[in-house]
Structure 1
Amino acid sequence: MSLITTTSQNPARLRGQRDYLRLLGARVTGGGANQMLMVALGWQMYDLTGSAWDLGLVGLAQFLPALLLTLPAGHWVDQHDRRLLLAGSLGLQCAVALCLALASVQDWISPHLIVMLSILLGAARALQMPSQQALLPTLVPPALLPRAVAASSASLQAAVIVSPALGGGLYAMGPWLSRLFDSAKTAATMNGARWGATLVYALSLVLLVAAICCVLTIHRRQPQGRRVAPGLTELTAGIRFLWRHPMMLGAISLDLFAMLLGGATALLPIFARDILHTGPEGLGLLRSAPGVGAVIVGLALARVPITRHAGAKLLGAVAVFGFAIIVFALTSSFWPAFLALAVSGAADMFSVVIRQSLVQLETPDEMRGRVGAVNSVFIGASNQLGEFRAGATAALVGPVASVLLGGIGTLAVVALWWRAFPALARRDRLM
């Protein structure tokens, strides 16, 4: 059954399908912009400092505001127009991209500025993720939600494939642009790397504006819950809901600890330059590699959805992710490293589709914002805080040992979760 073809000419269903495609467009353009921003931020920070610790600080700076804003963000999503909140979060990212572009081209970029703007990116994502997640189930029928999640995630990962590689390639064009546009006097104060960073940030800004346009053309979707003041009881409702549903809690926390330990994204600039001996274009390809595997799996699951043994397959996918990270840590050649990251992306996509489908199907609409906010802070912890963990550990024991220990830790988490959350391991069908 197709996600975009209906057997009925029901106007409401047709409108929902068009809105679904607009949300898909916003995810692709906004996600692509974000990936290019992170490629340029990571390489530029490493250019400025040469420090693994500072690379980790970029992730920590994005995580802390997301943690602090999680509960109020979830309440806002359940009380207000989710489209406008999503557009506002993208608008804040536009401001960050513009500031980074100006700071780079005018030569006043600094590590402190990068960290400060990373804080704003974290605040924007605190609102973006729950509003985006809460919108999707209102646009498709429940029976099609697992396929919609798979198709949406695959589309986003397609952007993740193209955007980092494009961002890295544009960054690498900096010296050529410097020779083309700079006078000899200007070239003494502006190197090619800053030209390349400016180009990446400018394109990210254009893509973010396109994402905002897509979001604002979605028809208004007013949350079904009653309007209430943001008291402590309402703010913490998402946490209490998950606590009463251990199967959902196990699925979300599995991703948190697996990615917290196994994430290696923050260290890719170090691996690219010092271990795999490549440049920013190679970094872009490495950041794209997980997306290659993820798109293949996402498209397959959109066509042939998971029907049985969902819990066991979720745990198995996370174990495959951990093995792939171990292989990446131990290789010193570019293409084996690329392949290991692609396998990690494929395994992660498999787990994402199962986890998000379970959370969306088990959560009533009036709670989706608050539950989605808790889910988003778990994802943020696994990504941004995981980047800080990787950078801090690499500063102590080196990048290879940091990633290797993370992969081993991921396997330990899978074994522990299999025993700690038996309801998750026994879950058969998504529906």
Structure 2
Amino acid sequence: MATHPFRIANFRFYWLSRLTGTVGSSALAILIGWQVYGLARQTMDIREAAFLLGMIGVAQFVPLMLLTPLVGLVADSVDRRWIVRVTTALLMLATALLGFLTWQGALGLPALFGAAVLMGVVRAFAGPAYSALAPNLVPRESLPTAIAISSIAWQVGTIAGPSLGGLLFAIHPDFAYATITALFAVALAMIFLIGPVPQPAVDRTHRPFARIVDGFVYVRRNRLVLAAITLDLFAVLLAGATALLPIYARDILHVGASGLGLLAAGMGIGAASAAIWFSFHPMKNDVGRKMLWSVVIFGLAILVFGVSTHFWISLGALIVAGVADMVSVYVRSSLIQLHTPDEMRGRVSAVSQLTISASNELGEAESGLMAALLGPVGAVVAGGVGAIAITILWSRLFPELKLAKTFDPPEILELTPQHGAAQP
């Protein structure tokens, strides 16, 4: 019987670090969005301010896109614990600086966008390191459960973070920034408690550039991994509505900062509920079909959110979208981790993170642009329809998804030193 991940001390520290770090990151993101929108609305109309909100996503995505070829190699070559330690410390310092500027009344758009850029850099390095570290902490047979439990930390963080950020900001902005800084300090302490873990041997037979290319080639040649990654990319790119939540909270649903926190937590509530279920009842059968149906449900839920003018209906739609998204995340993460050799997990995780960030941050930019053209409601509705259409198309282009019955790979994929690329 597989060992439960929480019975392993290193995994417990990892989980607590990810939980507190995610609470802090999601709270910081909601504060940045709220303050950017508030400053923009002083001189701009709704559509212009919506476009500026979308640019926050671009500010986070550009550094991540530029750094992706490097960060995967770093995660496969450097102690992954130290990567997370350094990036967490940077976030803690940046949050403290934003809090100081807010306290001084000197906070402006340049500082907020600078913080968004730093968040992109931090995510670029920390994401692959976090993802590649988890499989080193638990036995292989415990990995699907560990992924579900790790997702609980992430999703609980996305529930508590926005709600906490909105609530504390409504009480006092200084208090909000001080609390987030403290959360990052706890996350940093927890990652320092993780003892030595196995680190894959560095391949010295190939030059760094060839090793970077290996990660992209591996994803391209493993069609099941490619299908899972790209389906999430295009579905969330089209149907991501989080960038427009400040508009819905302020100008459509009229619920203010506290309501914004609840809306931002909605998808996390649904996703955490699904993750808790999977931690006790791991998915075993028809994983590919369930992923496809989950993305269809996600698109339908986003459609309902887009047209709703009632707060509780909107929140319910986001919760359903979160459940569906967690099913997709659970399947995608398990397929990637179990179909990838340990010595390549950092690079493959970097490719996966690039597509996830493209769907999230570029999705925010796309939402802002579409809202500027169609209005916020039109942008969200079009995105929901697009996600459903993409799922139907992907089910035809990648029949491997429908044929994936379990997470177990049919055979082990390894690097061939002769070519420096992944071969089936």
Candidates 10, 14, 31, aligned match of 1:23:
14
2:358 is aligned to 381
**Residue 30 of structure 2 aligns to which amino acid in structure 1?**
V
Candidates 238, 247, 268, aligned match of 1:270:
247
Equivalent residue runs for 1:19-418 within 5 Å = 19-50=10-41, 51-174=49-172, 196=173, 198-228=174-204, 231-418=208-395
Deviation of residue 2 (structure 1)?
Answer: 7.1
Deviation of residue 211 (structure 1)?
Answer: 0.6
Aligned residues: 400
Inter-partner Cα distance in structure 2 for 1:215 and 1:322: 36
**Residue 234 of structure 1 aligns to which amino acid in structure 2?**
R
Inter-partner Cα distance in structure 2 for 1:121 and 1:106: 22
Inter-partner Cα distance in structure 2 for 1:32 and 1:346: 19
Deviation of residue 230 (structure 1)?
Answer: 5.7
**Residue 138 of structure 1 aligns to which amino acid in structure 2?**
N
Deviation of residue 112 (structure 1)?
Answer: 1.9
1:425 is aligned to 402
Structure 1 residues 245, 36: CA separation in 2 closer, same or farther (over 3 Å shift)?
same
CA deviations over 1:326-348 (Å, ceiling 9, x no partner): 00001000000000000000001
Structure 1 residues 414, 239: CA separation in 2 closer, same or farther (over 3 Å shift)?
same
Task: State the percentage of identical aligned residues.
Answer: 39
SS class of match (2:95):
helix
Inter-partner Cα distance in structure 1 for 2:404 and 2:281: 19
Contact 1:92-1:121 within 8 A present in 2 as well: no
SS class of match (1:236):
helix
Contact 2:63-2:121 within 8 A present in 1 as well: yes
Instruction: With the length of structure 1 as denominator, give the TM-score of the two structures.
Output: 0.90
Contact 1:3-1:148 within 8 A present in 2 as well: no
Inter-partner Cα distance in structure 2 for 1:307 and 1:389: 35
More displaced 10-residue stretch of structure 1: 328-337 or 234-243: 234-243
**Residue 149 of structure 1 aligns to which amino acid in structure 2?**
I
CA deviations over 1:174-220 (Å, ceiling 9, x no partner): 3xxxxxxxxxxxxxxxxxxxxx2x32222111111111111111112
Deviation of residue 319 (structure 1)?
Answer: 0.7
**Residue 430 of structure 1 aligns to which amino acid in structure 2?**
F
Contact 1:32-1:163 within 8 A present in 2 as well: yes
CA deviations over 1:138-171 (Å, ceiling 9, x no partner): 1111222111111110222122212211111111
Contact 1:82-1:222 within 8 A present in 2 as well: no
Structure 1 residues 290, 141: CA separation in 2 closer, same or farther (over 3 Å shift)?
same
Structure 1 residues 222, 143: CA separation in 2 closer, same or farther (over 3 Å shift)?
closer
Structure 1 alignment gaps of length 5 or more: 7-13, 175-195
Inter-partner Cα distance in structure 1 for 2:110 and 2:255: 27
Inter-partner Cα distance in structure 2 for 1:382 and 1:220: 34
Structure 1 residues 310, 95: CA separation in 2 closer, same or farther (over 3 Å shift)?
same
Inter-partner Cα distance in structure 1 for 2:223 and 2:295: 18
Deviation of residue 226 (structure 1)?
Answer: 2.1
More displaced 10-residue stretch of structure 1: 110-119 or 122-131: 110-119
Inter-partner Cα distance in structure 2 for 1:111 and 1:380: 22
**Residue 27 of structure 1 aligns to which amino acid in structure 2?**
R
Inter-partner Cα distance in structure 2 for 1:362 and 1:315: 19
Contact 2:270-2:321 within 8 A present in 1 as well: yes
CA deviations over 1:20-77 (Å, ceiling 9, x no partner): 1111001100000011101111110111002111111111100000011111100011
**Residue 327 of structure 1 aligns to which amino acid in structure 2?**
V
Instruction: With the length of structure 2 as denominator, give the TM-score of the two structures.
Output: 0.92
SS class of match (1:306):
coil
Inter-partner Cα distance in structure 2 for 1:408 and 1:96: 38
